[in-house]
């Protein structure tokens, strides 16, 4: 049998949801404050995935203005019914937690998708849709139990019928389950399936950290009562030591293949660097499912996610994840791997003003603000990696800056930037907990391009540069702590991005920064 490598989609791709249409599979993940929102992937074998677009790729669909870090788009679910694709998700509006649930539709999964259909009377997060055999459609989500919470973060899974023609919830909401452990918290991510006369309800509980878990209950009736599985949780790594290479396993969706096999998609993280440091955030993993006594059993041989696992029968050859490593910026559109922070309200970048270059216009907004800075980034996807770019930039005023960033949030990131103070200079800036420290400054002599390089060997980060006529790299600074880019220090739910940026730090300017190419690849120790 062919094998595959976990994670099947590495980097910050959390909360996976999947649907099958004939022989084709489509998968979506969360994006929080990044734009475009909700990447959508296609596969024929459940292992080799290609991104085909974003579900939320227009400002009319996704207004992220002022959204704090790790708010925005949570936990999408994708489903297909009678020629129409549905993606339903939660939009978390502010730091205070206001939440709205909506869905969009399309006849082609690559888009375009409709503008949002907002649902009233739908509290909580992590909505999902279930299309029953009789044509009725049901919404599931989580909420605070109507009788009140018995302990911190105690939530209830609720269900209500949805009229997809009238685009509204109908009937009365019904609470159907609040998890396998009565002291568990954060019951969420509900999905309903029907098999052999039973309705199965799979949820996540225990929170998104080390105690994350997947549990299941079943009923002969959609509204319950639901019987929990005595073998719950059906998947977790919370009983394993903190040195185990895969952690915080949960938030699952399952699918049956055309060959009659069942597979589970879930999120998990790869901690590294001592302790539970997870710079890549939560990634998409795959595990086999079998059915015993009308209950699902995940990874029946070990009960764990493994880095290398035996693949689906659909997989013909051993698969290892392939990642795009080089962008020449020769195309007229950015590759689908690139994102901006929040919704862009102006054209701050161009691939056509200077063909063969990515031109970033300096905006007053900086990476330190909860704004839409002049930034494009792609996800960190390896424990050790290097990123290199070539930049042409002539700052004209104090505080004009452009370069490369290792970015977790506005309060936690590194910047390797060309700037101007008393002259043109190159500097490394560390921002942690909202406080900035300039680690190193070096004067840059002459005009022309400069190459910038960041190398991360696990949690040890080094920054280099070389001017256009130099053969060797100059080390600017080394031994920088990558742990500040981990969720465990920086907080939130996102992973690290490697990006390019340009800012005038509050000033109005016509200055631009031109990036000739960008390379990202795994670094081998």
Whether 15 is a known active-site residue: answer yes
Q: What is the pLDDT of residue 504?
A: 96
Q: Is residue 95 predicted with pLDDT exceeding 80?
A: no
- What pLDDT digit, counting tens, does each position of 319-369 carry? 888 888 999 999 999 999 999 999 999 999 999 999 999 999 999 999 999
Of 33, 126, 178, 188, which residue is the catalytic one? 188
Buried/exposed code over 35-61 (b: 16+ C-beta within 10 A; e: otherwise) = bbbbbbbbbebbbbbebebbbbbeeeb
Asked if residue 341 and residue 192 are part of one domain, the reply reads: no
Task: Return the SS3 of 488.
Answer: helix
- What pLDDT digit, counting tens, does each position of 107-117 carry? 999 999 999 99
Does residue 252 fall inside a structural domain?
no
Residue ending a domain, among 238, 265, 300, is: 238
Phi-psi region of 409 (alpha: psi -120 to 50; beta: other; left: phi over 0): beta
Whether 510 is a known active-site residue: answer no
> Alpha-carbon distance 458 to 382, whole Å?
9
Band (pLDDT 50/70/90 cuts) for residue 267 is very high
Q: What is the CATH number of the domain that holds 192?
A: 2.115.10.20
Does residue 11 fall inside a structural domain?
no
Q: What is the pLDDT of residue 515?
A: 98
Asked if residue 463 and residue 332 are part of one domain, the reply reads: yes
User: How many structural domains compose the chain?
Assistant: 2
Range name among 49-58, 65-74, 87-96, 219-228 with the lowest pLDDT average: 87-96
CB 399 within 8 A of CB 505: yes
Band (pLDDT 50/70/90 cuts) for residue 174 is very high
Asked if residue 359 and residue 229 are part of one domain, the reply reads: no
The Cβ-side half-sphere exposure at 209, using a 13 Å CA radius, reads 12
Of 15, 126, 156, 283, which residue is the catalytic one? 15
Name beta bridge partners: 26: 19, 42
Cα-atom radius of gyration of the chain, to the nearest Å?
23
Does residue 289 fall inside a structural domain?
no
Does residue 292 fall inside a structural domain?
no
> Alpha-carbon distance 131 to 510, whole Å?
53
Range name among 274-283, 336-345, 465-474 with the lowest pLDDT average: 465-474
Average pLDDT, the chain: 96
Does residue 249 fall inside a structural domain?
no
Q: Is residue 391 predicted with pLDDT exceeding 80?
A: yes
Does residue 36 fall inside a structural domain?
yes
Helices (H) and strands (E) in the chain, counts: 1, 39
Does residue 266 fall inside a structural domain?
no
Q: Which residue has the tokens 């790869």?
A: 270
Which domain does 108 fall in, by range? 22-238
Q: pTM of the full predicted structure?
A: 0.97
**CA proximity to 431, closest of 416, 417, 410, 452:** 410
């Amino acid at each position: 049998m062919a094998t595959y490598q976990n994670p099947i989609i590495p980097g910050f791709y959390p909360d996976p949801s999947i649907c099958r249409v004939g022989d084709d599979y489509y998968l979506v993940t969360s994006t929080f404050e990044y734009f475009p929102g909700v990447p959508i992937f296609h596969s024929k074998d459940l292992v080799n995935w290609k991104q085909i677009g974003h579900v939320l790729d227009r400002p009319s669909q996704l207004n992220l203005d002022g959204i704090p870090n790790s708010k925005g788009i949570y936990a999408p679910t994708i489903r297909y019914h009678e020629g129409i694709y549905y993606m339903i998700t939660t939009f978390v509006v502010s730091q205070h937690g206001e939440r709205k649930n909506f869905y969009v539709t399309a006849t082609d999964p690559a888009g375009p998708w409709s503008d949002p259909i907002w649902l009233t009377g739908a509290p909580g997060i992590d909505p999902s849709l279930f299309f029953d055999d009789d044509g009725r459609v049901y919404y599931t989500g989580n909420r605070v139990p109507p009788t009140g919470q018995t302990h911190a973060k105690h939530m209830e899974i609720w269900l209500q019928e949805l009229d997809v023609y009238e685009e509204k919830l109908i009937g009365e909401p019904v609470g159907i389950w609040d998890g396998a452990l009565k002291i568990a918290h954060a019951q969420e991510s509900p999905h309903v399936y029907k098999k052999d006369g039973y309705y199965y309800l799979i949820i996540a509980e225990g929170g998104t950290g080390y105690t994350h878990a997947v549990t299941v209950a079943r009923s002969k009736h959609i509204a319950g009562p639901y019987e929990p599985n005595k073998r719950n949780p059906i998947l977790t790594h919370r009983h394993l030591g903190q040195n185990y290479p895969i952690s915080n396993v949960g938030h699952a969706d399952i699918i049956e293949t055309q060959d009659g096999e069942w597979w589970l998609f879930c999120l998990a993280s790869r901690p590294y660097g001592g302790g539970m440091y997870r710079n890549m955030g939560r990634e998409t993993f795959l595990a086999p499912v079998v059915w015993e006594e009308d209950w699902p059993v995940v990874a029946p041989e070990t009960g764990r996610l493994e880095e290398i696992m035996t693949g689906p029968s659909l997989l013909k050859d051993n698969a290892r994840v392939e990642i795009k490593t080089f962008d020449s910026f020769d195309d007229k559109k950015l590759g689908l791997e690139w994102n901006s922070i929040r919704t862009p309200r102006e054209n701050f970048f161009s691939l056509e003003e200077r063909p063969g270059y990515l031109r970033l216009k300096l905006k007053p907004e900086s990476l330190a603000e909860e704004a839409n800075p002049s930034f494009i980034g792609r996800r960190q996807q390896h424990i050790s990696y290097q990123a290199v770019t070539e930049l042409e930039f002539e700052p004209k005023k104090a505080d004009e800056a452009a370069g490369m960033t290792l970015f977790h949030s506005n309060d936690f990131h590194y910047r390797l930037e060309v700037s101007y103070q008393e002259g043109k200079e190159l500097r490394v800036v560390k921002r942690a907990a909202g406080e900035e420290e300039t680690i190193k400054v070096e004067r840059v002599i002459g005009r022309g391009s400069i190459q910038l390089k960041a190398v991360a060997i696990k949690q040890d980060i080094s920054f280099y540069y070389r001017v256009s006529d130099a053969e060797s790299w100059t080390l600017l600074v080394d031994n920088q702590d990558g742990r500040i880019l981990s969720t465990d220090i920086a907080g939130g739910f996102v992973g690290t991005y490697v990006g390019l940026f340009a800012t005038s730090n509050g000033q109005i300017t016509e200055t631009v920064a031109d990036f000739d190419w960008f390379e990202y690849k795994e670094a081998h120790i």
